[in-house]
Amino acid sequence: RAHCLSQLHARRLIEAGYEGTPVVLPGLYAGSVAPTLAEHVDPTLIVYAGRHVREKRVDSLVRGFAVAHANDPRLRLELYGDGPDRARVETLVGALGLDGAVRHLGRRPEEEVAAAIARAGCLATASEREGYGLVVVEAAAHGTPSVVVAGSENAATELLEDGVNGVVSPDHSAEALGAALARTIAAGPALRESTARWFAKNAPRLTIDASLDVVADTYAAAAAVRSARR
**Residues 6+ away with beta carbon under 8 Å from 215:** 3, 25
Greater confidence (33 vs 123) lies with: 123
Dmax (CA) for the chain in angstroms is 72
Q: Record the pTM.
A: 0.91
pLDDT in tens, 155-164: 999 999 999 9
* Tens-digit pLDDT profile for residues 66-103: 999 999 999 999 999 999 999 999 999 999 999 999 99
Instruction: Kindly state the average pLDDT of the residues 195-217.
Output: 92
Starting at the edge strand that comes first in sequence, how are the strands of the sheet with 166-169 ordered? 102-106, 76-80, 42-49, 120-124, 146-149, 166-169
Q: How confident is the model at residue 133 (pLDDT cuts 50, 70, 90)?
A: very high
Across the chain, mean pLDDT equals: 94
What percent of the chain shows pLDDT beyond 70? 100
Taking residues 37-46, what's their average pLDDT? 92
pLDDT of 151 reads 95
